[in-house]
Amino acid sequence: MADALYMDAVIRPNRSLSRAGMAMVLGVAIAFNLMVAAFLLVVGAPPVLPFLGLDVLALWLALRASNRALSRSERVRVTAEAITVSREDEKGAKVVWTSPTAFTRVDLDQPGEHESRVRLFMSRRRVTLARALSPDERTAFARALEAAIRAARAERYA
């Protein structure tokens, strides 16, 4: 019999620009740089033209790195037996934390007005969760995680 899941949350960064949007941004940048290049050729300043190409290359590299970061995700699973946190990047899943539910606690650290950290603690081991969420979402996630752990403990000791 499979363990009952009290929480199975997948956290991903917000995708603000689709692939089509990325192509559109690059297309606008290329079109603008071509207009500037034509003007510079008319004025007689051809040594500047390679820098316009470097500008488009830098924009493409930045958008590509941003798009690659969006493929990351974090999964938090709470059962009566264990809490498992796995992080997945573009290469595959990697389990970074497993601990017994009975001995794990949640800590919500809010050092500043716009800062917060959700951590799982067991003895001296700890892991930070939900970095992709906003501070308000982290607070709500920490409360939901605490509730899931309480429910899992209640099943284990019932």
**Is it the case that residue 157 has pLDDT exceeding 70?**
no
Count CA atoms within 13 Å of residue 33 on its CB side.
17
121-150 pLDDT tens trace = 888 888 889 888 888 888 899 999 999 999
pLDDT above 90 coverage of the chain, percent = 29
Evaluate whether residue 121 is within a structural domain.
yes
As a whole number, the mean pLDDT across the chain is 86
- Beginning with the edge strand found earlier in the chain, give each strand of the sheet holding 73-78 in spatial order: 7-11, 73-78, 82-89, 92-100
Q: What's the confidence (pLDDT) of residue 29?
A: 93
* 73 or 70: which leads in pLDDT: 73
Alpha helices of the chain — where are they, by DSSP H? 19-43, 49-69, 135-156
Q: Is the pLDDT at 1 greater than 50, yes or no? A: no
Please list the residues that pair with 125 across neighbouring strands: 122
Residues 50 and 125 in one domain: no
Do 49 and 62 belong to one domain?
Answer: yes
The 10s digit of each residue's pLDDT in 8-57 is 999 988 877 888 888 999 999 999 999 999 998 899 888 888 888 899 99
Q: Are strands 7-11 and 117-122 parallel, antiparallel or unpaired?
A: unpaired
* pLDDT over threshold 80, residue 5: yes
| Structural domain harbouring 25 | 19-69
Least confident of 54-58, 105-109, 112-116: 112-116
Distance CA 71, CA 74 (A): 10
Residue 36 covered by a domain: yes
46 and 89, same structural domain? no
Over residues 90-104, mean pLDDT = 83
**Residues 105 and 131 both lie in one domain:** yes
Domains of the chain: total: 2
The answer on pLDDT for 2 being more than 60 is no
Q: How much is the pLDDT for 124?
A: 84
Structural domain contains residue 2? no
